[in-house]
Structure 1
Amino acid sequence: MSGYYPPRPTSRDTPTSTRSFQQFDLLEWYPYYQSCQRYFLDYAQHDHNVRIVAAFINIRLPFQWTDNPVINSAGLLPAPTGPSSYNVPWQRHGPATTPHGQPVHPFVSLVPYVQRLIVTSFDQDSILHSFFGDDWRKGVGGFHECERRNYLFTAKSVEWSHVMSKYSISPHETVPYMKPLSNVKTAEIEAAEQYWSRWLAFQDWMVGPRAPEAHNVEDDEDAHP
C-alpha cells in the first residue's frame, strides 16, 4: 500500500482547519449561508467591481443566465414596460409561496463562484467579502477551505487539461487560466496531507476497522490497560 498514514492527531497537533471542520455545526451555519446568498443576489452581482471580476474570470452572474435569470433573492424579474407588458405573467403574480404563505426563494449555489475565484487566484479576503458580504467567513468559509483542498487534490490526481475541464462550467464559461493555490499556510498543507492519506486508504478499502486511525486507537488502548 502506497501513501503515508500520519499518527492519530490529538487536539494539540491537529491543524486548526481540521479542528474547525470536526466542530462544524450545520444548524448554526445555514443562516449565515443564506445571508451570503441574499447578499450575492441582491447586491454583489449588481456591483460594478464584482461584474468586472466575473467577466475577467469568465463566469456568468445569476442575472446574466440565459435560462431563468435570477435578479435578486426574491427571484423577481424587473417589472416590464411597454405596450405588450400586460401579457407578461410575472407582472401579475408575486413570488411563489409555501402552503404556509412563506416566500420560496430561488436556490443559487455559491460553490461554482468560490471554485472559480480559487483557481484564478482571486480568492483574497477582500474579494470574497465583496461577493458574499460580511458573513462570508461563517457562510462560505467552509466551502472556501474545502475547495482549496479539492483544488490541491485535483491537481495531484490528473493532468492539466483535465483540471481545466473540471473547473469549466460550459462551452461559454471555460476557465480562462489557472494559477497554483495562493496564500498557502503550513497548517493548510498538513490538513490536506491528512485528508489525502485517508483517501489513499479508502482506495484500498482501509476504512472502518481497517482504517489506520482505528489501528492507532487499538495500539493506544493496548498500551494503557
Structure 2
Amino acid sequence: MSPDPVPRPDLVLGEDGLARPAWASTDPLLRAYYDGEWGLPVRDERGLYERICLEGFQAGLSWATILRKRPAFRAAFAGFDPDEVAAFGPGDVDRLLADPGIVRHRGKIEAAVGNARATVALREDGGLSRLVWSFRPERTPRPRTVAEVPTRSPESEALSRALRARGFRFVGPTTMYALMEAVGIVDTHLVGSHRRGSSGVWPDDAGGA
C-alpha cells in the first residue's frame, strides 16, 4: 500500500500538490491569503494598525467576509494611515456608518479611530511595532490538528492588557492571538502544511515530525 500523501490530519492536498488546512483549501480568496500573506512578518506601523483594526472588525464574523471587504475598508479608512484616521471626527464616523462596503458597527468604527490616535501616541514610546513584537514568545506552537491550535496565550493576554492600557479597543486576548498568528509572531501553520516555518521567524519549526 502506498503511503498517505498527506501524512497529517486536518490537511487537504491541493491539485498543486501542496498541503493546506481545510479552511484555506477551497475558497480562492482564502487560499491566496493563506499562501501569500497569513503568518508572514508584519512590522511596519501602518500594516500592524490595519491588521489590529481588521481583527477587531472580524469579531463575530468570518475572516472571508473581512477579506472581501478589505478594499472597501482601505478606501474608507484612508489606506489605514494612522495620522489621517486619527484626524477623523463625528462626521467621518457618520460617513462610515453609511458605507455599505464595510462592517457598519459604531463601536468598532469608533475603536478604529481611537486606535489610530493611540498608534500615533505610541511613537513617543518606541512605536506600535516595538510594542506588539515585544510579546513574541520563546516558543511557537507545533499543532498537528486544528484542535491543537491555541486561541489565546499568556503573551496574547499580556499584549491585550498593554494595548488597552494605551487606549486601544477591541483588542481582547483571543483577537490579539489571531493578530499574532496573522503577522508571524507565532507560527500556527499545521505541521505538514507547505507554509509551516515559511515566515523566517521560526526557521527551526519548519515541517517535520
Give the shorter-chain TM-score range. under 0.3
The TM-score with structure 1 as length reference comes to: 0.25
- Give the alignment's TM-score, normalised by structure 2: 0.27
